[in-house]
A and B are shown apart, each in its own frame.
Chain A
Amino acid sequence: MKARFSDIQVSVAAPELRLEVSCRLENRGPEAWIPAKGFAFSYQIFDPSTGTLVEDGQRTEMGGDIAPGDSVAVRLSVPLPAQPGDYRVYVSPLVEHQAWFYERGSPFLLLEARVEDGRAELRRRGVSTLGRVRLATLARSLGRAAWYPARSLVRHRSLIRSLVSRDIAGRYRGSYGGLFWTVIHPLLMMAAYYFVFGVVLRARFANDPRPSSFVLYFLAGMLPWLAFSEAVGRAPTVILEYRTLVKKLVFPIEILPVNLTLAGLVSEAFGLILYAAGLWYFDRPFAPAMLYLPVLVAPQVLLTLGLCWFLAALGVFFRDVGQIIGFLLTLWFFLTPICYPEASLPAEWLWLFSANPLFGLVRNYRRILLEAAAPEWGSVLALSAVAVAVFLAGHAWFYRLRRSFADLI
């Protein structure tokens, strides 16, 4: 199935919003085009912004068999929809109930028209192939992938703020402690770990004999991990949780994973304040180095958010992800040196463990919080690069799949 177009002429018939097309078509394929076998000539109109088919055109007879190498002059007219907007028209031969030539890689005539104020304007015409059109679409969507996530965050910032505050307030709504629990919760957790590791197990760290040493080490890694795992753990089910918003309202669903990420971050912020108080209580220096924290928090947020977007979309298609994510996070937790010292990792496999972006994150948190030093810039840079990549890819993935969410849940 291959056709060659030549002598192409396209004109706009203004009052009826009609494109008049005439061209010469040559049969470049190995078989004859036989009208009785369903060979015909027609067009399809697409909406370029979504790629959906708007109209399937009337078939034009070829007026006789066309043997390979022969050519035929064809005329056809394409009535455009009266609705204002951009339209993309594919003009191509087809075999009825089988395929369009263009779907099988044959060149076709591509027309781009705009309807505005009851007038049609031809903006582009030319012979193209499906492969080339797809490539152009891909290039465009790559461009979009880079700036859509940022645009969406900025555009919906007020809604994001409201949703995050509702998420946090909602957790403890109806309990007597209320918002107080956001503080009590991490405090109790830290006290429990202190008791278990510092007092009962007497775990000490390095050459530091104080009971607080292991706990502070452990918590420095645990705080970012909790923010990360809290968000990622909820991500696969978040779309289902807010299904009425997806199905019944015009709602920017891409901000639901954002909401998770930020809610996790708020818990971490409370934890960090308590942690700082703990450092002061145990007589450890901390103050100026804490100013480096935003350098770590930024990639942490991007990484979490990217993963949340990825998992949220995946969870709609495979509900099983919601079940398995808890296990995966536990595994991840133990593969990251949070509750054990880095030194206990086998040295020859260290390169593999360092590929874990959370390893770099946790390690730099410790440098800032425990050693009161600047982060290792090299690993921060690597982490940031990974985080940005995950962020962009996660959003692109989510953006691509979100269209079918409402059909699936």
Chain B
Amino acid sequence: MVKVHNVSKLYRLYRRPADRIWEAVLPGPAERHQDFWALREVTFSVERGETLGIVGPNGCGKSTLLQIVCGVLDPTSGRVARGGRVAGLLELGAGFSPEFTGRENVYLNGEILGMSRAEVERALPRIEQFAEIGEFLDRPVKTYSSGMYVRLAFSTAIHVEPDILVVDEALAVGDAVFANRCVKKFQEIKKRGVTVLFVSHDLSLVKLIADRAIFLREGRVEAAGEPSAVINRYIGLVLERQKALEGSDGASAAALAASFRHGDRLAEVASVELLGRQDGPTRVVESGEPVVVRVTSRFHADQPDPMVGILIRTRIGMDVFGTNTKLQKLAMGPCRAGDTLQVDFHFDCWLCPQEYTLTVATQHPDGSSHDWLDEALAFTVVASRFSAGVANLHARAVARRLPGAAA
């Protein structure tokens, strides 16, 4: 159980370290600092066995809040009550020293996290098993790959058997397999009645494991409750901001972001939009959700047979799916200079949860580009069920027990 009541955190920012001394020494009200409220009147509680996800943009106070919950920082005002032993995973491997072996580090780290030596000894086989680093356990940590380092650190911390586990972006590292096992581990410790608070930028992860979520913005709780509702609120804010940003840019083709743009511009892409189930542009799509990619292009020369195409790629640049109006056998007829053409691509977004990019182009029938924009837009697919890979094949599992062969 964690109860956070009316917690605020004030940082005094000094331009120079000497100002801090002057202010302490010199009498009078001459203030040499600027007040910065990292948290403002934050109140929430998490019951035993409940998992709370904390989302919000960078610098909104998420990490400060976790540090206060752990007891690493003191609130400027307000109060935090914790029911039991707290283990904080604010930074994986904090306190590991590179010259020592994994085993030695596990011992010391376990003790630092609050276990007795005997407890560490008992937990060691399980830590070893979960970390899966084999014989490396007896080699200096400096020889580890970063993946092994993270696995060992996470494994140590999660076997401390805390009553309250506080995790800050710990799962952002490590490969998909390990992340998946961590999720399972979370669910397992949740069943044991451990209270979990975690911060993540991975919204699908929050939906997946959190019972409730809070959305922090500029140090205040902007929304709290059902994870999906809170996340929608957060996404709404992100979109709003994006729009404000685009609006200030003059919402022209110039505002279109692209990592690489080439072509003769005889037919120019004026805008690219991703429309979700709800009206209006989105950047977050539920797996399987019907979406529309709307490409608007402006023609600066007559084109007898124009062509518009889209291509979805993963974050690492693998092509996932691509199509164009020619492949779709869509006859658009000749376009003349000055025409504006809008093409909608409808599809059900059966992709696995991760980030994707959208590349769009207008092309000449021979395949040469009029206007090609790589990664014009990025979007995230979320799902309530984790699955590996790229394509969500929407599989169902069926099991039947076969009668044993008679002896």
Contact = CB atoms under 8 A, between A and B. Distances in A.
Partners in one complex: yes
Interface of A: 47, 50, 52-56, 81-85, 158-159, 162-163, 166, 169-170, 173-174, 244-251, 317-318, 403, 406-407
Nearest to B80: A83
B16 to A, nearest CB: 13
A163 B111 CA distance: 10
B93 to A, nearest CB: 9
A52 B111 contact: no
B91 A54 contact: no
B97 A52 contact: no
Interface stretch (B68-76, B236-244, B263-271, B389-397): B68-76
B112 A83 contact: no
Contacts of B79: 47, 52, 54, 81, 83, 85
B99 A170 contact: yes
B100 A249 contact: no
B84 to A, nearest CB: 13
A62 B74 CA distance: 35
A52 B71 CA distance: 14
B107 interface: yes
Count chain A CB atoms within 10 A of each CB in B97, B99, B107 and give the residue with the most: B99
B304 interface: no
B95 A166 contact: no
A173 B88 contact: no
A244 B111 contact: no
Interface stretch (B3-11, B246-254, B380-388): B3-11
B72 A247 contact: yes
Interface string B86-102: 10101100110101100
Contacts of A47: 79
B117 interface: yes
Contacts of B5: 54-55, 81-83
A85 B100 CA distance: 43
B259 to A, nearest CB: 35
27 contacts: A52-B74, A53-B77, A54-B6, A54-B78, A56-B77, A81-B5, A85-B79, A158-B117, A162-B107, A162-B108, A166-B108, A169-B100, A174-B140, A244-B91, A244-B94, A244-B95, A245-B94, A247-B72, A248-B90, A248-B91, A248-B94, A248-B95, A249-B88, A249-B112, A250-B70, A251-B112, A317-B20
Task: Pick the 10 closest A-B CB pairs, nearest first.
Answer: A53-B77, A248-B94, A244-B94, A173-B99, A248-B91, A248-B90, A83-B3, A83-B81, A54-B79, A81-B5
Contact of B111 (A50, A53, A159, A406): A159
B113 interface: yes
Contacts of B99: 170, 173-174
A83 B45 CA distance: 10
SS class of chain B's interface: helix, strand, loop or mixed? Answer: mixed
Given A54-B79, A166-B108, A250 B97 contact: no
Contacts of B113: 249
A406 B81 contact: no
Contacts of B20: 317
Given A54-B5, A249-B113, A250-B114, A166 B97 contact: yes
B116 interface: yes
Nearest to B116: A158
A342 to B, nearest CB: 40
Contacts of B97: 166, 170
B234 to A, nearest CB: 26
A321 B71 CA distance: 28
Interface of B: 3, 5-6, 11, 20-21, 67, 70-79, 81, 86, 88, 90-91, 94-95, 97, 99-100, 104, 107-108, 111-114, 116-117, 140
Contacts of A53: 76-78
Nearest to B24: A317
A52 B78 contact: yes
A406 B3 contact: no
A195 to B, nearest CB: 33
A311 B97 CA distance: 25
Interface centre among A81, A85, A403 (most CB of B within 10 A): A81
B100 A81 contact: no
A406 B140 CA distance: 29
Contact of B73 (A162, A169, A406): A406
B112 A406 contact: no
Given A54-B77, A170-B99, A248 B3 contact: no
Contact of A248 (B72, B76, B100): B72
A169 B99 CA distance: 10
A316 B256 CA distance: 48
A317 B88 CA distance: 26
Contacts of A83: 3, 5, 79, 81
Contacts of B86: 250
B155 to A, nearest CB: 16
Contacts of A159: 111-112
B81 A84 contact: yes
A113 to B, nearest CB: 14
Contacts of B94: 244-245, 248-249
Given A163-B108, A403-B74, A406-B67, A249 B95 contact: yes
Given A52-B77, A245-B95, 7 more contacts: A52-B75, A53-B76, A54-B79, A166-B97, A170-B100, A251-B95, A251-B112
A121 B332 CA distance: 79
Given A158-B117, A166-B100, A85 B81 contact: yes
Contact of B100 (A56, A173, A318): A173
A19 B5 CA distance: 18
A177 to B, nearest CB: 14
B44 to A, nearest CB: 12
Contacts of B76: 52-53
B78 A248 contact: no
